Structure formats: C-alpha cells, structure tokens
Amino acid sequence: MDLRSLKKEVHSLDNIHETVQQFQDSWIKPLRSNTNSHLPFIQNISPEAKKELNKKLSTFYDIVYQTKKGQTVTEKLQQYTRYLIDLKLTEMQGDHIKARIITNNMLHDEFFNIQNTISEVKAFDTHTQKLSAQYNEINLLIHKELSLDETVFFMDLPHKKYLYNLLQIAKKQKSIVRQVGLHFVSLTRNNNLGK
C-alpha cells in the first residue's frame, strides 16, 4: 500500500466515539429499565434475570470506556501518515535534519511513540473482542427471557451493525499500523537514519 492509499485508509476510519455512542444508544439504553418504554417486553424480564443483566452491564461500562480510547489511536495513525509523507518529501529534498526530527518524534516522543501506539492498537483490539464477548453473553441471557418474536425485534435494532463496525475498525487499525511501520522502516533506511 502506497502512502496516498494509506492516508486515505486512515482517514476513512469511522469515528470511534460516535460509533460507541450509537452502539450504546441502540443496545445499552434499551436494556436499562428507565429508558426502554418503547420496548415493553424488556420490562417483563424476570427479577433474577434483571439482576444478572444489571450486574453484567455494570462491568460492561468499563469495557465501553476503554473502547472509546481507540479514537486516540486513529488520530495518532492519521498523524503518522502525515509524518511519513513529510519524511518522504524530506528524502526527495535531501533535508536530513528535518528527517531526523520526524524520526525522533516517531521513536521517542512521549505521545507519538510508535511502540506505544502499537500497544494501544493491540489493546483496542482486545477491548473490542471483550466488548463482543460480553455483548454475546448478555444477549444470550436476554434471549432466554424473551419470546422468539421479541428476540427477533430486539436483534433487528442496529446495535449489531455498530459492534461489527468497531470490530472492523480494530482490524483495520492493526493493518494500518503494520503498514505505517513498514513505510517508516523503509524511509528511515532510505534516509540512512537507522544508524
């Protein structure tokens, strides 16, 4: 993937904050007893199941919070593509001083350190996987309490689409960070900055 394609790919990623918010609005809010008046069958869940549901949802919020941090990773990846383009331009211009500054930013900056970002991409992937597992677990609990028609109606809400979108973002972030690393190594070798 060339730098132009990489930049387009990074900028095409959906906003994680918005996606998580849409997921919460379409899935978590209807499960809460005070926000589900449009889904009366949720209110008919047995007290034991409601207690278990609330317990699982309370732990779920921490995972949601951690997942929202993935937007920072997307913003860092956008900045890396800018750095890589600048690095490519400095290579063409022979500006080794600017190339060294950009390289140092990517390697040693407290916030833009590429190693930290790789760890954050892995963490975001882990959080989305946990989110998916918890989602499936809670849905299984709900499905036991609802009739088939109610289950189908509830599952037709767009929450599954938003979860799938988050999982796809995590997958794309992993691919992008790999491409950023490959381009970075290539450009630093070309500029003889790896010494």
Using the structure block, give the residue that is written with the tokens 């109610």: 150
- Count the Cβ atoms, other than its own, within 10 Å of residue 129: 13
The per-residue pLDDT for 195 is 47
Using alpha carbons, select from 193, 173, 12, 190 the residue that is nearest to residue 106.
193
CA 28 from centre of chain? 18
Q: What is the DSSP letter of 2?
A: -
C-alpha span between 13 and 168 (Å, rounded): 9
In the block, tokens 């500029």 appear at 191
The pLDDT, as a whole number, for residue 29 is 77
Question: What is the mean pLDDT of each successive set of 10 residues along the chain, which is 195 residues long?
Answer: 92 95 84 59 74 82 90 96 94 90 92 93 96 90 79 79 95 96 90 59
Model pLDDT, residue 32 = 65
How many C-beta neighbours within 10 Å does residue 167 have? 15
Both tokens assigned to 125: 């992937």
Q: Measuring CA to CA, which residue among 81, 107, 87 is closest to residue 192?
A: 87
pTM of the model: 0.86
Listed in sequence order, the residues at least 6 apart from 89 whose beta carbon sits closer than 8 Å to its beta carbon are none
Q: What is the DSSP string of 130-175?
A: HHHHHHHHHHHHHHHHS-HHHHHHHHTSTHHHHHHHHHHHHHHHHH
- Nearest CA among 135, 129, 137 for reference residue 166: 129
By 3-state DSSP, what share of the chain in percent is helix, strand and coil, each rounded to 5? 80, 0, 20
- For 117, phi and psi rounded to 5 degrees? -65, -40
What is the pLDDT at residue 40?
A: 62
Residues 6+ apart with CB under 8 A from 64: 20, 23, 24, 28, 131
Return the residue matching tokens 């010494």. Answer: 195
pLDDT at 139 (0 to 100)? 86
